[in-house]
Every structure is written in structure tokens, then in C-alpha cells.
């Protein structure tokens, strides 16, 4: 059907009208005010700030102060003593008339001053408290004329008019503001560097989980998923428990230096031998039954040794680093750095161990489930599925309930544990009954979607907002900024990276799969070589962005140069603020150039 011409015109007219209304409202809410921009007072303020901004406070000079005094009488008095005559060669002032009533205007003239200086012209009553009457500016000959009003301070004795001028001596020096700016801009660059490093280190593994082409092929039968849900929390707890025990053991060993050394040297050697036996480089024959059982046990013990080794290393690093701080003197931060690395490692071990526990038990659950599907009868599998489905559903929802309770502090066992568990159990049973026994669920796609959703949510919160939470946690300062920027880096780079994984050529992936490589090998040999250049490029780009962000993250308590900038703006110290703006501009521009150069190299 054709719209009649007249109707079209009317619609167009209405659309234009609507647009006008929208913009009119926009003007209203954003308070567009042209009157204000034309007002002389405002224009003067603008001029002042612009003039301050183009004169950044960077250099300063040693100053020499000259004081010239002129005794006067106010009001004039007959019995006044004769005032001393000025010496013609040195600086002197003359007031005309030579005496006057208070609150009258007089002219003060100065001779033989330092040329081209400025300074205050003060009135000093007998009390000694100086009152500023005006400022003076000398010309090329060191001469000035100022018309000032005498203050309302009549007295019978001689009072004093004092001019103070300052002169720069010596060459220019960096001002305190310039030094502060330098210190803070260095802090800013390193803040960005650390945030990028931490963020990227976590974003890379996440990016694989957030890549559709890696995750979608992962499917699993219902039985496997149900057992996994039940076993993964057990794995996390068990992993944490094992880590705790090993930590205690490591502490015992590091009690004596010999125990520590023996541990640090002994565990890797032992690990190497067990590894050589348990993980043969070539898998020619299918493993025997004994090997099938013994090898995983051996690998388990190797992992325990590995965790112990890491604990020993981290604890030694902390001790060693702390011991180094004093003897290293100026380089003491190196010792502190080693200790911090040890601390980071020590913090990460239980997390990694818990995750590993979850991974091991999850993988084991997958195999058990697969075995059940393959080896049990139809009806037996149906019944196990119903039971497992109920249990897994209950467990999953109970965990979610516990999370909600932690956040909202409902503290009612029935609403936060009972009801979710029952709902979950019913849901699980229904799902188990609904699905066919051998059907595989797209668990990979589910994890992919969940990760993507979380990343998108996290990305929508600006780091400037995130820093507020971190500033509460770790205190206002650059570390809060590092954490906030790192979190934002994880969110955005994980997504950018995963898009690169999704964009790789499928051919090599197919070819490597065809050789019999498992998923891990396929990723190492077909995916990683393809994504290295874009990963480097995006990392550089993120560093660039983080430098930019870190210049303002201080506005919200994140340390760096933004903190200084905000302070100076609030103090209306625009010349100092100008220095910081200049520093930001230089750093951002050079970072921009550097990162584009490096990115060119990476590809």
C-alpha cells in the first residue's frame, strides 16, 4: 500500500516538530544560558583563568627583598620632629603632601628602586601591624607613583609607609608545584602499568571462556553436569583445606633456614622424577589398569609437592625481601617489591588450589557421568538422573540463597535455604525427567553466555565509579586506582580478546583436531599462535587508555596526578593546575605515540 503524499508530508512535519520539542527540552534541562556567557563579570573571570592557565607554575627563582620606609605624620602636627631628609643615591620615597589627615588621598612617589619590580605598599602604625594600602610597580628607571588613601589611624607620633619589592636572583629553578607534579605523573604512569599488567593477566584466561567458538562445542550429558554441580563446591572446599594444611607445613619448614632450603631444592627434584614417570611424553599404548590408577595418584602427590614448593618460595621471598629493605638503603623498594611478590603469590595459592580442586573434581564428575550414561541400563540411568537432578538443583539454589543472604542479611534459614533448596530440587527433577537420557546439554554455551553477561555488566561501570568502592576498601590512594583500573581492564580486554579468538581461521583448528590433539593441545597449537599479535596490540591499547584514565582517577580517590589537579582546582590555584594539565597532555600524547608505534611492530 502506498502512503498518500499529503500524509507523508504531515508525518514529516510532525517529526520535525517533535525533534524541535526534544531539542528545546534538552536546552531547558542542560540550562543553556547565553546571557551568562556575555556578562562582563563572567568574561573577566574567563579571561583570568585563561591567563592563569597559559602561565603554568613550573619555574621559581630565589628572591631578594628590598624594604624602603618613609616616616610620616597623620594628621599633620605642629610639634612634629623634623623628618630625616632622604639620601639621594639610595632608594627613597616622597609623599605629597608630606603630611595629611587620615582617610585622605595622597600620592607616594619612589625613586632609585629596583627597576621593573612589584610589591606591596604598606602602612605601619606604631602597633607594628602592617596595613596594605596598594601595590607598586616600578618602571625602567626604578621610579613609581602611587595614589593611595591613608588609613583611619591618627596618631601623634611618626608612623611609617613601607614599600617592599622583590627581585629574582640566580637562574630559574623548578617550583615545588613542578616537583609535586613530576612525582605524581610518575605515580600515574606506574599506576597504569600495574593496572594493565594485573588486568591483562586475568583477562587472558577469561577470554577463552568468553569465546563462542571455543565454548560452544563443549557439551555434556545431564548426569555429568549434575555430578559436577555436586562435586565442584566439594572441590573448592577441599582445595582450600589442602592449601591450608600445606601452608602450615611450609611454615614449619621455613622455621629453620635448612628446612626451607631443603624444601625449596628437594620438592622440585622429587616432582621432576614423579612427573617423568607419571607423564610419559608419548602415549603409544593405552595405559594399563595399574597405570590408570597409579598415575593420577602420582600426579596428585606431585601437585601437593608443587603447592608446598610455592608456599616455601613465597614465604622465603617475604622474609628475604623484608631483610633486604634496610641494607639496600635507597634501593630498599626492591626488597619491598620481592616481599610483595611473595605476598601476592601466597594470597593466590589457596585461590588457585581451590579452583584446581574444583577443576579436578569437576573433570572427574564429567567422566563418571559419561561412564554412567554409557554403562548403565536405561531405567537405572533415568532414576540416577532424577535423584542427581534433585540433589544438584537443591545444592545450586542453596548456594545462590546463601549468596543472597550474605548480601541482604535476611538470616532466615527457611527463606534463604529451605525454599531455594526445595525449588531447586523440583526444578532439577523436572529437568531430569524432561530431558532424554543421552541428550547432551550445551554447558559450554551456557558458561560462555554467563561470562559474557558478567563482563558486559562490569564494563558498564566506569572505573571512576569503581574506584569509590576500592578507596573504601584499601584507602584513598594509587592502589585503589590500580585495582579499579585493573577490574575495568579485565572486563573490557576479556571481551576484546575473546572476539579475537572468535575471529581466528577455522582451518588450522580443524587440521590440529584431525591429528588427534585434545582440546588443550588444539588451543596451544592452533589458537594461541593466531591470537598473539592482536593480544599484544590490544594490551598496548589498554595501557594507553589506562594512562589516560589514571590521570583523572584521582578525582575519585584513586591517587595519581588527578588528586593534585583536583586539589589545585578547588583551591582556585589555576597556575598550579595548569602545570598538571600540561603534564597530563604530554604523557598522554607520548603514550599515544609510543603505543601506536609498538602496535605497528607487534603485527
Residue 172: in which H helix or E strand, if any? strand 159-174
Whichever of 346 and 373 has its CB closer to another protein, that residue is 373
Place of cell 617489591: 337
Residue 270 grid cell: 622429587
Whichever of 54 and 603 has its CB closer to another protein, that residue is 603
CB of 597 to another protein, least distance (A): 21
CB of 272 to another protein, least distance (A): 13
Residues 6+ apart with CB under 8 A from 36: 42
Whichever of 17 and 524 has its CB closer to another protein, that residue is 524
Residue 503: alpha-carbon gap to chain centroid: 29
At 135, phi and psi to the nearest 5?
-120, 155
CB of 352 to another protein, least distance (A): 16
For another protein, which stretch binds (CB under 8 A), given 107-115, 160-168, 312-320, 526-534?
526-534
Task: Please give the size of the binding site for another protein, defined by CB under 8 A.
Answer: 31
Whichever of 61 and 275 has its CB closer to another protein, that residue is 275
CB of 439 to another protein, least distance (A): 14
CA distance linking residue 150 with residue 368, whole number of Å = 100
Q: Interaction with another protein in 460-519: which residues (CB under 8 A)?
A: 505, 507-508, 510-518
At 132, phi and psi to the nearest 5?
-80, 130
Whichever of 1 and 505 has its CB closer to another protein, that residue is 505
Residue 42 grid cell: 563572567
Q: Interaction with another protein in 370-389: which residues (CB under 8 A)?
A: 370, 374
Whichever of 152 and 276 has its CB closer to another protein, that residue is 276
* Whether 497 contacts 535, CB under 8 Å: yes
CB of 433 to another protein, least distance (A): 24
For another protein, which stretch binds (CB under 8 A), given 30-38, 157-165, 197-205, 528-536?
528-536
Q: Among residues 417, 446, 525, 555, which is the contact residue for another protein, using CB under 8 A?
A: 525
CA distance linking residue 302 with residue 309, whole number of Å = 10
170 dihedral zone (left: phi>0; alpha: psi -120 to 50; beta): left
CB of 506 to another protein, least distance (A): 9
Report the 10 Å Cβ neighbour count for 49.
15
CB of 525 to another protein, least distance (A): 5
CB of 372 to another protein, least distance (A): 13
* Whether 146 contacts 134, CB under 8 Å: yes
Q: Distance between the two ends of the chain, CA-based, in angstroms?
A: 54
Whichever of 6 and 514 has its CB closer to another protein, that residue is 514
Whichever of 245 and 367 has its CB closer to another protein, that residue is 367
Smallest Cα–Cα separation from 537: which of 601, 485, 593, 490?
Answer: 601
* Whether 312 contacts 287, CB under 8 Å: no
The binding track of 275-314 with respect to another protein, each residue x by CB under 8 A or -, is x---xxxxxx-x----------------------------
CB of 243 to another protein, least distance (A): 22
Determine if 16 is a binding residue for another protein (CB under 8 A).
no
Query: Prior bond to 75 cis, omega within 30?
Result: yes
Q: Among residues 521, 571, 590, 601, which is the contact residue for another protein, using CB under 8 A?
A: 521
CA distance linking residue 215 with residue 427, whole number of Å = 25
CA distance linking residue 511 with residue 517, whole number of Å = 9
CB of 302 to another protein, least distance (A): 10
What's the Rg (C-alpha) of the chain? 38
For another protein, which stretch binds (CB under 8 A), given 119-127, 242-250, 403-411, 523-531?
523-531
CB of 441 to another protein, least distance (A): 16
* Whether 221 contacts 439, CB under 8 Å: yes
Q: Among residues 476, 482, 526, 591, which is the contact residue for another protein, using CB under 8 A?
A: 526
Q: Among residues 130, 530, 566, 573, which is the contact residue for another protein, using CB under 8 A?
A: 530
Q: Among residues 14, 532, 572, 585, which is the contact residue for another protein, using CB under 8 A?
A: 532
CA distance linking residue 294 with residue 280, whole number of Å = 13
The binding track of 533-562 with respect to another protein, each residue x by CB under 8 A or -, is x-----------------------------
* Whether 194 contacts 482, CB under 8 Å: yes
CA distance linking residue 125 with residue 427, whole number of Å = 92
CA distance linking residue 565 with residue 550, whole number of Å = 12
**Binding region for another protein (CB under 8 A):** 275, 279-284, 286, 370, 374, 505, 507-508, 510-518, 520-521, 524-526, 529-530, 532-533
Amino acid at each position: 500500500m502506498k502512503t498518500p503524499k499529503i500524509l507523508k508530508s504531515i508525518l514529516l512535519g510532525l517529526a520535525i516538530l517533535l525533534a524541535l520539542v526534544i531539542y528545546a527540552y534538552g536546552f531547558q534541562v542542560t540550562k543553556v544560558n547565553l546571557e551568562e556567557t556575555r556578562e562582563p563579570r563572567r568574561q573577566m573571570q574567563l579571561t583570568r583563568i585563561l591567563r592563569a592557565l597559559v602561565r603554568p607554575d613550573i619555574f621559581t627563582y630565589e628572591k631578594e627583598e628590598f624594604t624602603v620606609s618613609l616616616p610620616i605624620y597623620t594628621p599633620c602636627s605642629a610639634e612634629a620632629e623634623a623628618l630625616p631628609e632622604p639620601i639621594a643615591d639610595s632608594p627613597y620615597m616622597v609623599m605629597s603632601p608630606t603630611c595629611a589627615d587620615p582617610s585622605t588621598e595622597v600620592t607616594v612617589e619612589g625613586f632609585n628602586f629596583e627597576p621593573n619590580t612589584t610589591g606591596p605598599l604598606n602602612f605601619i602604625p606604631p602597633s607594628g601591624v602592617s596595613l596594605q594600602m596598594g601595590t607598586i610597580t616600578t618602571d625602567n628607571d626604578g621610579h613609581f607613583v602611587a595614589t593611595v588613601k591613608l588609613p583611619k589611624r591618627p596618631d601623634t607620633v611618626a608612623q611609617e609607609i613601607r614599600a617592599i619589592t622583590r627581585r629574582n636572583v640566580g637562574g630559574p629553578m623548578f617550583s615545588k608545584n613542578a616537583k609535586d607534579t613530576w612525582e605524581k605523573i610518575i605515580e600515574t604512569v606506574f599506576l597504569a602499568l600495574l593496572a594493565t599488567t594485573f588486568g591483562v593477566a586475568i583477562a587472558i584466561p577469561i577470554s577463552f571462556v568468553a569465546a563462542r567458538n571455543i565454548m560452544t562445542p563443549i557439551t555434556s550429558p545431564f548426569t555429568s553436569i549434575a555430578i559436577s554441580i555436586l562435586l565442584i563446591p566439594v572441590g573448592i572446599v577441599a582445595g582450600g583445606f589442602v592449601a591450608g594444611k600445606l601452608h602450615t607445613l611450609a611454615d614449619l619448614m621455613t622455621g629453620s633456614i635448612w628446612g626451607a632450603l631443603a624444601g625449596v631444592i628437594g620438592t622440585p627434584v622429587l616432582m621432576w622424577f614423579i612427573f617423568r614417570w607419571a607423564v610419559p611424553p608419548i602415549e603409544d599404548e593405552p595405559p594399563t589398569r595399574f597405570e590408570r590408577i597409579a598415575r593420577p595418584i602420582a600426579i596428585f602427590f606431585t601437585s601437593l609437592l608443587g603447592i608446598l614448593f610455592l608456599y616455601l618460595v613465597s614465604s622465603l621471598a617475604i622474609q628475604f625481601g623484608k631483610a633486604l629493605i634496610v641494607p639496600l638503603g635507597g634501593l630498599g623498594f626492591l626488597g619491598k617489591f620481592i616481599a610483595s611478590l611473595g605476598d601476592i603469590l601466597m594470597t593466590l595459592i589457596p585461590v588457585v588450589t581451590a579452583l584446581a580442586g574444583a577443576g579436578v573434581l569437576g573433570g572427574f564428575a564429567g567422566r563418571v557421568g559419561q561412564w554412567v550414561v554409557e554403562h548403565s541400563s536405561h531405567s537405572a540411568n533415568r532414576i540416577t538422573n532424577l535423584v542427581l537432578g534433585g540433589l544438584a538443583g537443591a545444592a545450586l539454589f542453596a548456594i545462590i540463597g546463601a549468596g543472597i543472604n550474605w548480601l541482604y542479611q535476611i538470616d532466615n534459614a527457611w527463606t534463604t535455604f529451605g525454599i531455594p533448596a526445595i525449588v531447586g530440587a523440583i526444578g532439577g527433577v523436572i529437568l531430569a525427567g524432561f530431558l532424554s537420557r543421552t541428550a547432551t546439554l550445551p554447558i559450554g554455551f551456557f558458561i560462555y553466555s554467563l561470562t559474557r553477561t558478567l563482563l558486559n555488566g562490569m564494563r558498564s561501570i566506569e572505573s571512576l565509579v569503581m574506584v569509590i568502592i576500592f578507596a573504601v576498601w584499601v584507602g584513598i590512594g594509587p592502589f585503589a586506582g590500580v585495582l579499579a583500573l585493573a577490574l575495568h581492564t579485565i572486563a573490557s580486554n576479556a571481551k576484546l580478546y575473546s572476539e579475537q579468538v572468535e575471529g581466528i581461521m577455522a582451518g588450522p583448528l580443524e587440521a590440529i583436531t584431525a591429528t588427534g590433539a585434545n582440546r588443550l593441545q588444539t588451543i596451544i597449537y592452533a589458537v594461541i599462535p593466531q591470537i598473539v599479535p592482536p593480544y599484544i596490540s590490544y594490551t598496548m591499547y589498554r595501557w594507553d587508555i589506562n594512562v589516560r584514565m589514571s590521570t583523572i582517577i584521582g578525582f575519585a580517590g584513586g591517587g595519581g596526578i588527578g588528586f593534585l589537579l583536583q586539589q589545585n582546582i578547588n583551591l582556585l590555584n589555576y597556575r598550579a593546575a595548569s602545570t598538571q594539565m600540561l603534564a597530563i597532555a604530554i604523557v598522554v600524547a607520548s603514550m599515544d605515540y609510543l603505543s601506536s608505534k609498538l602496535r605497528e611492530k607487534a603485527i
